[in-house]
Amino acid sequence: MQFSLDHKTASLSVGDFSDFALGPRDSFGGPQGLWRAQLGQHWHNELKTQIVREHTVGGTLRPDVLFEVPIEGRLAHRGWSITLTGRIDQIIGPTLREIKTVTRPLPTEESTLRADYPAYFLQLSTYVILLRASALNPPLSALNPQRSTPNCSPLRSELVFVEASSGLAQTIALTPFDEALVHHQLDALVQFLDQQLRARERRRTLHFRPPFTDLRPGQETIQADLRAAFGCVESPESSVQHSGEDSPTLDARHSTAAPPLAALHSQSATILLFEAPTGYGKTGCVLEFALSQLQSGRFTRLIWLTGKSTGQLQVVRTLEQMTAVASSGPRPGQPREATQPAPTPSPPQPASPPAPPTPLSPTPATSNPIGYFKSSRFGRTPGTSTPIGYFDSSPQRTPLAQSNPIGYSGQSTAGKQPNQSTLLGYLLPGAPLAFWQVRNKSEHCVNHTYHCVREGCDYLNGAAERWPGSGLSRYYLDETQPHDLDTLRAAGKAAHICPYEITRAALAFNDVWIGDYNYVFAPDNRGLFFDQPGFDPRTTLLAIDEAHNLPTRVADAYSHRANDTDARLLLAELDHLRAPGPLLLAVEAWTMLLAALQPTDTIDAALESELHDCIERLVRLTATLPLDYTALGPKHSETLWQFTALDEFLADPNLRRLLWCPRAGELNFTCTDATAAIGETLNRFGGAILMSATLQPYATMAAACGIIQVGRGVPAEPSSVGKSDVVPASASRLVGTTRPTTYATLHAPAPWRENAYDVAVDTRVETTYKQRANYYGTTAATIEAMHAAASAQRAKPNVQPSTLNPQLSGSSPSGSELSTLSSQLSTSSASPTIAVFFPSYAYAESVLRALENSNSVLRVALQPKLPDLAAQNAWVEESLALTDALFLVLGSSFAEGIDLLGGRVTHAMVVGPALPEVNPVQKARLETYAGLGREAAFRRVYQIPGLQKVNQALGRLVRAPGQKAKVLLHCRRFADTSYSSLLAMEYQFYREISTVDELRAWLNETPTQA
Ligand code: SF4
pLDDT along the chain (1010 residues), means of 10: 92 94 68 64 89 89 92 93 95 92 90 91 94 60 48 76 90 92 94 93 90 86 88 47 34 31 41 92 95 93 91 92 61 34 36 38 32 30 30 31 29 34 38 90 95 92 92 91 95 96 95 97 94 93 96 96 97 96 96 97 94 94 87 94 94 92 97 93 94 93 78 32 28 30 84 92 96 96 95 62 35 45 45 93 96 94 85 88 93 78 91 94 92 93 96 92 93 96 93 95 72
* Minimum-distance ligand 1 atom for the alpha carbon of 501: 6
* Minimum-distance ligand 1 atom for the alpha carbon of 451: 3
* Minimum-distance ligand 1 atom for the alpha carbon of 499: 6
C-alpha of residue 500 to centroid of ligand 1, in Å: 7
Residue of 306, 280, 152, 132 lying closest to 216 (CA atoms): 280
Contact 166, 103 (CB under 8 A): no
Strand intervals (E) in 166-237: 169-173
C-alpha of residue 644 to centroid of ligand 1, in Å: 21
* Minimum-distance ligand 1 atom for the alpha carbon of 463: 5
Cβ of 454 less than 6 Å from ligand 1: no
Beta-strand relationship, 2-4 and 9-13? antiparallel
Burial 43-53 (b: 16+ CB within 10 A, else e): bbeebbeebee
DSSP string for 941-971: IIIHHHHHHHHHHHHTT--STT--EEEEE-S
Q: How far apart are CA 664 and CA 597, in angstroms?
A: 6
* Minimum-distance ligand 1 atom for the alpha carbon of 445: 2
Beta-strand relationship, 965-969 and 907-910? parallel
Beta-strand relationship, 560-563 and 540-544? unpaired
C-alpha of residue 450 to centroid of ligand 1, in Å: 6
Confidence (pLDDT) at 430: 57
User: How many C-beta atoms lie closer than 10 Å to residue 556's C-beta?
Assistant: 15
Cβ of 460 less than 6 Å from ligand 1: yes
C-alpha of residue 697 to centroid of ligand 1, in Å: 44
Cβ of 28 less than 6 Å from ligand 1: no
Beta-strand relationship, 560-563 and 512-515? unpaired
Q: 3-state SS of the chain: helix, strand, coil percent to 5? A: 40, 15, 45
Contact 951, 984 (CB under 8 A): yes
Q: How far apart are CA 528 and CA 639, in angstroms?
A: 22
Cβ of 453 less than 6 Å from ligand 1: no
C-alpha of residue 454 to centroid of ligand 1, in Å: 9
The residue whose C-alpha atom lies closest to atom 8 belonging to ligand 1 is 452
C-alpha of residue 162 to centroid of ligand 1, in Å: 29
Residue of 480, 436, 502, 512 lying closest to 203 (CA atoms): 512
The residue whose C-alpha atom lies closest to atom 7 belonging to ligand 1 is 445
Q: How far apart are CA 830 and CA 833, in angstroms?
A: 10
* Minimum-distance ligand 1 atom for the alpha carbon of 441: 7
Name the residue type at position 774.
N
Strand intervals (E) in 266-308: 271-275, 301-305
Strand intervals (E) in 839-936: 860-862, 885-889, 907-910
Q: How many angstroms separate the most distant Cα atoms in the chain? A: 113
C-alpha of residue 996 to centroid of ligand 1, in Å: 63
User: How many C-beta atoms lie closer than 10 Å to residue 877's C-beta?
Assistant: 13
Contact 567, 596 (CB under 8 A): no
Cβ of 498 less than 6 Å from ligand 1: yes
* Minimum-distance ligand 1 atom for the alpha carbon of 446: 1
Partners of 660 in beta bridges: 668
Cβ of 447 less than 6 Å from ligand 1: yes
Q: Which sign does the torsion angle of CA 981, 982, 986, 987 carry?
A: negative
Q: How far apart are CA 166 and CA 563, in angstroms?
A: 32
* Minimum-distance ligand 1 atom for the alpha carbon of 444: 7
Name the residue type at position 23.
G
Confidence (pLDDT) at 949: 95
Phi, psi of 912 (to 5 degrees): 90, 145
CA distances from 251 to 220, 238, 239, 604, 909 (A): 14, 11, 9, 53, 27
Residue of 688, 715, 741 lying closest to 539 (CA atoms): 688
